[in-house]
Structure 1
Amino acid sequence: MKDFRQDITDISGKISKIGADPTGGMTRLLYTKEWVEAQKALKQIFETAGFAASHDATGNLSARLTGSKYPEQTILTGSHIDTVVNGGNLDGQFGIEASFLAANYLKDTYGPPLRSLEVIALAEEEGSRFPYVFWGSKNIFGQARRQDVENIADAKGVNFVDAMHSAGFDFRPEDQPVRKDIAAFVEIHIEQGKVLETEGKTIGVVTSIVGQRRYDIRLKGESNHAGTTPMGYRRDTVYAFSRICTESIAKARAEGDPLVLTFGKVEPKPNTVNVVPGFTHFTMDCRHTDAVALDRFTLEIEADMRRIAAEMGIEIEIDRWMDEKPIPMNKQLVECVSHLCEKHKVNYRLIHSGAGHDSQIFSPHVPTVMIFVPSIDGISHNPAEKTHLDDLAEGVKVLAHTLYQLAWTEEGGSL
């Protein structure tokens, strides 16, 4: 098969310039000018290669090859184009680039596919600009609700709907039927962890994606003079947060793997040296591969937070704004990719994903599988995010083998 290393370097060089920070990071948030520019650049690349490219109402970009025998059956592959703030240039982006390179190679080598093949650059996955995740993939299946985003805004106060309209997009028409043509979805992604690198594996075939619960939590106490307010009279929200954080992390450690718990952002107010902080906003992220365990643990932590706040005379508001259940990948597709790795002597292992991905939105609706390539030092959501070029190229090859099996062979229709 073709050596994809130069192709990866070329296409990544074009797309990675868009949203690049001078310090080395990448910021490309939903409906910003950087996001619009990236989608336009991808569309031009797709069309130049002979794909029929178009956006849906909300901004998902598709590049399509129509099937010669079963055009009504679509094999879909791709990932998301948005990034976190000051992230890397592989998370999401590599999945789109790899899908295009694999599809374009197969087109040039074998001609039109039997089933339609579609590369998709999904509008949004990260939730980095607005408190809403999977806007792109949820719109594919009519899961995204207008009322969930009409009144939300970004950190600068820009309303979601205004940003969407400014970018030239709109809500999915309410009378538009949900797509029934997708026969399978295949997503390739960097691992964002250290398992593959530590074990010396080139490819991970994902068996499941962890469930996630994300929270915005606000504590309201009383701001007061740091010198004249005795310790026993204080309603200090930073102290309350510190108790919540310490107790929760201790319980998470006792629970053990695969549960993970993260307090990612803490904003005390007035945030000055000589005032007792009367307000603190913080975030919490909890993940587990087992839905029952995730539910049990988070409900216990929520109760603990309310208890601590009550003991300290502090008001608490807990907003669980994300609640995604653990999602299994399609067993037949996992076996298919595993078999192809064995056939082509690829060093792989089965693995679960500790990060959320668009595949968890697709999986309940259509047969879905994910392919991982290693992350150097497990680093992601960081300008230092990197994967060896040889590993990226091997990932494109495995993806190409998979897409060939699904779209170019008669047997692919039985999976």
Structure 2
Amino acid sequence: MAADYGKAVCPMNAPMIQAPAQEMLKLLEELAVFSAPGAGVTRLLYTPEWSRAQFFLQERMAGLGLEVVSDNVGNVYGKLTGRNPEDKVILTGSHIDTVINGGKYDGAYGIAAAVTALHYLQQTFGQPLRTLKAVSFCEEEGSRFPLTFWGSGHVTGLYDGSEAEACADSEGVTLEAAMVECGIGMGIRSDKAESGDKSGSGTVGMGSTARRNDIGAFVELHIEQGIILEKTAKQIGVVQAIAGQRRFMVEVCGTANHAGTTPMHMRQDALAGAAEMLLALEGLAAEAGEPLVATSGRLEVLPNTPNVIPGEVLFTLDIRHSEEEELEAFCDCILAAFKGIAARRGLTLKIMPRLSASPAPMDGGLTGMLESICRNQGRTYRNMVSGAGHDAQLFAPQCPTAMIFVPSRAGISHSPEEYSSPEELAAGLDVLTALLYELAYK
């Protein structure tokens, strides 16, 4: 069954770039236009660029014959109603927002592919058995406001809307004010889950409750944002899990003193201690091996003066692994090492947790289907862990969830240099479309 469909979608003797892929690539280019001035694409939550992009998507979805609705936080859906309305929805898509000066593929690719896949399936196979929806989540990146997954977090119940009152951007604009400026968000809080839409075919509805209980499976197609697929010459990444994260702020305190008059053996140098800690972090992470990664990306030194021994250092700690027990064990190990270094050097240490996100395993049945589809389409693939966070990790505890990766050139993402070739993007579209067919038409 899957083999026949895989061959039908991408015949081995046909060109890689066919009409559906061309439609998707055109949509990607059109979405990239909705950007603030500057390099790359900047489309922050609830800005004019964001609003225009979401409105454009609603018009495009409606023009393709999909039923369209946007909810009370600005998530946009295009719906292909199934013949069995009592069955739960098959949902696919990604996020419309970007980082500042980002690329045109991160998030937008998953949306463009979702819309294209639904249009192709409708044109080719007609009405599905189970309802299909393409979603453009309003936010995932956390680039404007100090939270992430504002879109999918409302769908899955992570947020209830109360966060909008106090959460503000760097200019002091609250989420609530930004939503009102966009004309959305009135009556955002609700304890009731939305189980269906009321909009008609080819029309646009507004304001349904974001929280949903009608999702039977979620599939997200995304660029890898890493270099593994390119380095291993694989066309498709079948994600087995999204890594859990632990983030800390570490404060190391010593004694600030004169650089010329304080003997080396009498110093309590906070920066030297922090440097030893970071070398220990690198070494222990290398010993732990894949898929664990550990990073310190920000360092603040006080008083930060050339002729003064540093008295205080603040640095960040970001640790990720796909297995909860391994993640916790490494955190315990490295923090114990830090404490030992501080004690030996006569420094004081303060460790402040900032984030604790559990690993999100993908559904084994769906990953198995993806592997079968890749084989049937003659595509090379590899099973892998996603070190980056994605909307899919919020759905994984609630419904069968899958993620598909395509290669990123040189592993570059969150940059104007972000790039995946048309052939790579088309391959991901074919795999996504085949999985949606299996889930909604069989």
Which TM class, normalised by the smaller chain length? 0.7 to 0.9
Return 148-157 or 289-298, whichever deviates more: 148-157
What's 1:101 paired with?
116
CA offsets, 1:261-287, max 9 Å, x none? 111223445655556555544322111
Tell me, what secondary structure is at the counterpart of 1:115? coil
Which of 107, 111, 126 is equivalent to 1:92? 107
Which of 35, 45, 64 is equivalent to 2:50? 35
Task: Report if aligned partners of 1:51, 1:63 keep a CA contact under 8 Å in 2.
Answer: yes
What's 1:8 paired with?
24
What's 1:413 paired with?
none
2:237 corresponds to 1:204: yes
What's 1:380 paired with?
413
Tell me, what secondary structure is at the counterpart of 2:221? strand
Task: Report if aligned partners of 1:235, 1:314 keep a CA contact under 8 Å in 2.
Answer: no
What's 2:203 paired with?
none
Using the TM superposition, give the Cα deviation of residue 234 of structure 1 relative to its aligned residue in structure 2, in angstroms: 6.5
- Distance in 2 (CA, whole Å) between partners of 1:379 and 1:81 is 19
Tell me, what secondary structure is at the counterpart of 1:370? strand
2:295 corresponds to 1:262: yes
Write the letter of the residue equivalent to 2:353: D
- Residues 231 and 352 (structure 1 numbering): CA distance in 2 closer, same or farther, change over 3 Å? same
Using the TM superposition, give the Cα deviation of residue 102 of structure 1 relative to its aligned residue in structure 2, in angstroms: 0.9
What's 2:388 paired with?
355
- Residues 54 and 307 (structure 1 numbering): CA distance in 2 closer, same or farther, change over 3 Å? farther
Using the TM superposition, give the Cα deviation of residue 223 of structure 1 relative to its aligned residue in structure 2, in angstroms: 6.4
Using the TM superposition, give the Cα deviation of residue 372 of structure 1 relative to its aligned residue in structure 2, in angstroms: 1.1
2:149 corresponds to 1:134: yes
Tell me, what secondary structure is at the counterpart of 1:59? coil
2:186 corresponds to 1:173: no
What's 2:352 paired with?
318
Task: Report if aligned partners of 2:256, 2:309 keep a CA contact under 8 Å in 1.
Answer: yes
Using the TM superposition, give the Cα deviation of residue 297 of structure 1 relative to its aligned residue in structure 2, in angstroms: 0.9
- Residues 212 and 157 (structure 1 numbering): CA distance in 2 closer, same or farther, change over 3 Å? same
- Distance in 2 (CA, whole Å) between partners of 1:141 and 1:159 is 22
- Residues 358 and 250 (structure 1 numbering): CA distance in 2 closer, same or farther, change over 3 Å? same
CA offsets, 1:137-164, max 9 Å, x none? 2211212255666544434444444444
CA offsets, 1:222-256, max 9 Å, x none? 76776677767776554443233222122111212
What's 2:38 paired with?
22
Write the letter of the residue equivalent to 1:285: D
Return 124-133 or 323-332, whichever deviates more: 124-133
Which of 289, 307, 319 is equivalent to 1:286? 319
Scaled by the length of structure 1, the TM-score of the pair is 0.87
The runs of 5 or more residues in structure 2 that have no matched partner are 1-8, 10-17, 194-210
User: May I ask how many residue pairs the two structures share in their alignment?
Assistant: 407
Using the TM superposition, give the Cα deviation of residue 7 of structure 1 relative to its aligned residue in structure 2, in angstroms: 1.8
Which of 68, 71, 91 is equivalent to 2:83? 68
Using the TM superposition, give the Cα deviation of residue 303 of structure 1 relative to its aligned residue in structure 2, in angstroms: 3.6
What's 1:331 paired with?
364
Which of 240, 246, 264 is equivalent to 1:213? 246
Which of 396, 400, 403 is equivalent to 1:370? 403
Using the TM superposition, give the Cα deviation of residue 307 of structure 1 relative to its aligned residue in structure 2, in angstroms: 5.0
- Distance in 2 (CA, whole Å) between partners of 1:52 and 1:31 is 23
What's 1:296 paired with?
329
Task: Report if aligned partners of 2:161, 2:189 keep a CA contact under 8 Å in 1.
Answer: no
- Residues 128 and 266 (structure 1 numbering): CA distance in 2 closer, same or farther, change over 3 Å? farther
What's 2:202 paired with?
none
2:163 corresponds to 1:154: no
Task: Report if aligned partners of 1:28, 1:34 keep a CA contact under 8 Å in 2.
Answer: yes
Return 331-340 or 385-394, whichever deviates more: 331-340
The runs of 5 or more residues in structure 1 that have no matched partner are 410-415
Using the TM superposition, give the Cα deviation of residue 21 of structure 1 relative to its aligned residue in structure 2, in angstroms: 5.4
Task: Report if aligned partners of 2:103, 2:418 keep a CA contact under 8 Å in 1.
Answer: yes
- Residues 146 and 318 (structure 1 numbering): CA distance in 2 closer, same or farther, change over 3 Å? farther
CA RMSD of aligned residues (A): 2.8
Tell me, what secondary structure is at the counterpart of 2:135? strand
- Distance in 1 (CA, whole Å) between partners of 2:80 and 2:438 is 16
Write the letter of the residue equivalent to 2:147: Y
- Distance in 1 (CA, whole Å) between partners of 2:350 and 2:374 is 51
Which of 375, 379, 382 is equivalent to 1:346? 379
- Distance in 2 (CA, whole Å) between partners of 1:192 and 1:16 is 18
- Distance in 2 (CA, whole Å) between partners of 1:404 and 1:172 is 34
- Distance in 2 (CA, whole Å) between partners of 1:28 and 1:266 is 28
Task: Report if aligned partners of 1:207, 1:352 keep a CA contact under 8 Å in 2.
Answer: yes
Scaled by the length of structure 2, the TM-score of the pair is 0.82
- Distance in 2 (CA, whole Å) between partners of 1:88 and 1:76 is 24
Using the TM superposition, give the Cα deviation of residue 300 of structure 1 relative to its aligned residue in structure 2, in angstroms: 2.7
Tell me, what secondary structure is at the counterpart of 1:18? coil
What's 1:412 paired with?
none
Task: Report if aligned partners of 2:244, 2:320 keep a CA contact under 8 Å in 1.
Answer: yes
- Residues 315 and 202 (structure 1 numbering): CA distance in 2 closer, same or farther, change over 3 Å? closer
- Distance in 2 (CA, whole Å) between partners of 1:301 and 1:358 is 29
Using the TM superposition, give the Cα deviation of residue 406 of structure 1 relative to its aligned residue in structure 2, in angstroms: 1.3
Larger Rg: 2
- Residues 283 and 45 (structure 1 numbering): CA distance in 2 closer, same or farther, change over 3 Å? farther
- Residues 102 and 316 (structure 1 numbering): CA distance in 2 closer, same or farther, change over 3 Å? same
Return 394-403 or 343-352, whichever deviates more: 343-352
What's 2:283 paired with?
250
Tell me, what secondary structure is at the counterpart of 2:328? helix
